[in-house]
A and B are shown apart, each in its own frame.
Chain A
Amino acid sequence: MYSVMKKTAFILIIVLFSAFPLFAGNIPDVSLRFSSQGDQVRIVLQSDDNSINDASAATSTSGIRVTFPSEFELRKPDNFIFGIVRQGRSLTINLRDVTDVKASRLTAPSRMVFDLTMGRTAIGGGVPQVSPSGGQGTAQQSGQRSLGDILQRLLQKTPEKPPIKVIVIDPGHGGYDYGIVTQESKEKDVDLTLAKSLGAAFSKQGATVFLTRRSDQYDSIGKRVDLANAKKPDLFISIHASSSTDRFAVYVSTVNELNVDPVMKQYSMFSAQNSYFDNSRKIALAIGESLKKEFGNTVVIRELPLPILYSMDAPAVLIEYPSMDLFGRAQSMQSKFASSVAEGISSYENQ
């Protein structure tokens, strides 16, 4: 009798263990691996057919975001060179010093492959660099950097991400500065309309919102910067029109590379954006993705030393919308724009 019970218990244990993977299979594994050769880094995400085939990916040189059809278990090497953020079904890889990203999908086994071209500053390609003392040197002087050097540089701690509670929105132009003018509309008016819509969307989400102007008035760039910085915002967004008919552009500053006299730098606002550069780029990417999803238009990220951005003491982006007449005329487009940008910020906050 005892031996029969023993056998039954043994069989039950075997059955339970063999059935476990059937339940555990609901959460698929995603394994991440990477390799590098020269200035190329390859990142591979491998999983089952469904997870890879139904996943969507957004890429830019500042980040890769992959959204899987369900939640997943991530396996990755400890020495992975980029920062990773997991949120529900999405996986974000924050890239640095990358100049190009190519994405592809392969089968047997199913995997997504991202081929990155690293920037010359990351791999020590001899780009002239100005030392803090003002003297010039080249990265090559210290010899070709090893992958270890690159990893060290890439793993530098990024600034913390404070919650976004106070937002300043800057409608471009105003007063005698009309911006772009068509027969149907003036940029200054459309900028203001969109800024107000966006402000309402952020207010609904519980943020405190300030606009640099609420009416058709001219304010200098300097005054806008002072007004915005005085509010100590967690985020600054400037709204302008693009001369393109179909392309959104999200601008971030290029503070670090400005050729500024050291004395001028000391007394100007040139360095204000330095601490926020990474977060500004992440916000630009999140907004860009959201606009792309909502409108389906081409969306680009641009780096330019624009004073309204490099002088801001907060994460700062400038959004240019296309088809000014359409955005000026159609309230539905204005609402879509506002909800899309607000959605992008929510997505950034949840990263």
Chain B
Amino acid sequence: MKTSKPGSPKFWIPLLLGRYFRPQKQPVTATAVPVPTGNAQEEDLFNLRMFYPVGNRLEMIEKVLPRRTKKSAVIEAVIEEYFKGPGQGLTSCIPQNVKLLGLYKGADQILYVDLSDEVRRNFQGDALQEYLLLRGLYESLISNLEDISDIKILVDGREIETLGGHVYLKYTLKTAVSYEYKGDEEISLE
């Protein structure tokens, strides 16, 4: 019987496809995560470092939530808090009513985040805002989770090319949004 060598594409492509289409974990259903409003000192709390797109930058905001023990619950909390927006009276381009449909983690530590189509339909922004929206999500997840190497966004269970027509989502987020935006260079005429 003819077998493919490990270095050849015939060997790797089925492996990669298999990993992608047969996630190792079952989808985790999203649940509502209330932010504590009572006496915080009496509860077991933990902090999330969230990165929200605000204007032309990412704003780091710490959010305090009841402790979760399961890792999947922490991931859910990060994503749900992210799509709730920064609050504190800050305006952000984060689309409304986005639901987390599922989470999958590959053997290569890539986290697959399956979001509802509202993330695409309700996004109203330009190229920089789209970039910051995705970078903020990436930073928020990576900052709060240790064993995630990269993130891949799915919408309604499918791979999409782009969210708002500017940033390429066929690649993972590490590739698509790893560049640290340095700010605008304003042209001035004297």
Q: Which residues in A have some Cβ–Cβ distance to B below 8 Å?
A: 55-62, 103, 105, 172-173, 177, 179-181, 220-222, 240-244, 249, 251, 254, 257-261, 264, 285, 288-289, 292-293, 298-308, 318, 320
Contacts and interface: CB of A to CB of B under 8 A. Distances in A.
A58 B187 contact: yes
A251 B127 contact: yes
Interface of B: 93, 124-129, 131, 161-162, 164-168, 171, 174-179, 181-182, 184-190
Nearest to A285: B187
A289 to B, nearest CB: 6
Given A181-B124, A241-B126, A261-B175, A304 B190 contact: no
Q: What DSSP secondary structure best describes chain B's contact surface? A: loop
B190 A221 contact: no
Given A56-B189, A60-B186, A180-B125, A240 B166 contact: yes
Q: 7 shortest A-B CB distances, which residue pairs?
A: A300-B184, A259-B178, A307-B168, A57-B190, A301-B185, A288-B187, A299-B187
A289 B187 contact: yes
Q: What DSSP secondary structure best describes chain A's contact surface? A: mixed
A320 B126 contact: yes
Given A57-B190, A285-B187, A289-B187, A306 B127 contact: yes
Contacts of A288: 187
B153 to A, nearest CB: 15
Contact of A307 (B128, B167, B178, B190): B167
A222 B190 CA distance: 41
A58 B188 contact: yes
Contacts, number: 110
A318 B165 CA distance: 13
B186 A180 contact: no
B189 A292 contact: yes
B181 A304 contact: yes
10 contacts: A56-B190, A58-B188, A58-B190, A60-B188, A261-B175, A264-B175, A289-B187, A305-B179, A307-B167, A320-B127
B117 to A, nearest CB: 12
B187 A179 contact: no
A120 to B, nearest CB: 11
A180 B168 contact: no
Given A240-B126, A307-B167, A254 B186 contact: no
Contact of B184 (A56, A58, A59, A302): A302
A55 B184 CA distance: 25
Contact of B187 (A59, A241, A261, A304): A59
Given A243-B93, A264-B175, A306 B187 contact: no
Contact of B186 (A55, A299, A307): A299
Contacts of B181: 302-304
A288 B126 CA distance: 18
